[in-house]
Amino acid sequence: MLDFALLGLLRDGPRHGYELRRTLADLGIRRVSFGALYPALRRLERRGAIAAVRGEGRRRTYRITPEGIAEFERLIAESDPDEASGVFRLRLAFLGALPEASRLGVLERRRRALVGRLREARRAFAAAGGDRYRRALLEYRVHSTEADIAWLDRLIAGERGVTVNR
Amino acid sequence: MLDFALLGLLRDGPRHGYELRRTLADLGIRRVSFGALYPALRRLERRGAIAAVRGEGRRRTYRITPEGIAEFERLIAESDPDEASGVFRLRLAFLGALPEASRLGVLERRRRALVGRLREARRAFAAAGGDRYRRALLEYRVHSTEADIAWLDRLIAGERGVTVNR
DNA sequence: TAAAGCATGTAAGAGGTTACATGATTGG
DNA sequence: CCAATCATGTAACCTCTTACATGCTTTA
């Protein structure tokens, strides 16, 4: 997942490690430690997905290679209906890299997965035992899943170029 | 984090592995694979936090030991303002295990952390470059953080025994 | 009777965290 | 001048994922 994120960001242009880390944090995607970041860049470099050039000062600036682009394209095309919300958000961050024709499908598949989760969350909430904190947790899951679906619906409507009626 | 979850669930009474896994999924806390679950139970057993007794059929039923209770109490008392939402949800699932007097403090610390994140999310959104998907992502972060704060406020109001005025 | 769910487990490998180490530059 | 931020990296340790293995019971 980190590899996917790094490749996606490097698709926009050359960046150095520290910068990639900051961008990832700014996008609210994930907080990456240095002990995860630099070994990940080395892995990608070793397998030829990215290439390093010396930048200013201590900087090692990386750019994506054709092999890296191919790998990125494989990764963004695959779709696991059970993927965690963090993975989907990452996919969304790079949705613009997908041909326009296939974007709607990604959003709709996600919607179907969320509707399934909502059903499950409602079932768990209806069967709720436990104290009020446990019940609050189950209720939260129902509400936040509903909110996520509503948000996706706006994205889908925008993708269709339609004004949302509310 | 898995250890914390397992100890917390075993505080409610003896359970076997498969059952713990299901409960964790039902609470929407996390999906645990068997390759994570059983080694975790072994770890806890080895360090004396839980003890196994043979149950029906192939079942190994675990119960928490006094050492395990002590460990759980250490874990639930610590509070990292930067903790991920998954960790907080877990903490909430076990909030009833904390003396009533300290529950409000946990919720209020969480609220302060979320307010900080909201500020950061708004700043990132205001500075937003990128395509519409990136912007949608940043907007999502703002809205979902706001929703989380509103939800926490209801919890806090409930904790104070006050009716929410809306 | 076949599939799905119950129930436990191991092994290899990948990847992460935390702590440590270094050193330049910038801002209060 | 001191702290923070920039910038990169290593090493030990831990834990998770994935795949495999086994075998029973329930349900369609």
Q: From first to last of the 166 residues of chain B, give the pLDDT tens digit.
A: 999 999 999 999 999 999 999 999 999 999 999 999 999 999 999 999 999 998 888 899 999 999 999 999 999 988 787 889 999 999 999 999 999 999 999 999 999 999 999 998 999 899 878 899 999 999 999 999 999 999 999 999 999 985 444 3
Q: Could you say which residues 26-65 of protein chain B have a Cβ atom less than 7 A away from any atom in strand D? A: 32-36, 39-40, 43, 57-58
Which of chain B's residues have a Cβ under 8 Å away from the Cβ of A148? 144
* 3-state SS, residue B110: helix
DSSP codes joined into one string, B4-38: HHHHHHHTTS-EEHHHHHHHHHHTTS----HHHHH
Q: Could you say which residues 81-140 of protein chain B have a Cβ atom less than 7 A away from any atom in strand D? A: none
Helix (H) / strand (E) element for B52: namely strand B50-54
Model confidence pLDDT, tens digit, residues A91-134: 999 999 999 999 999 999 999 999 999 998 999 999 878 899 99
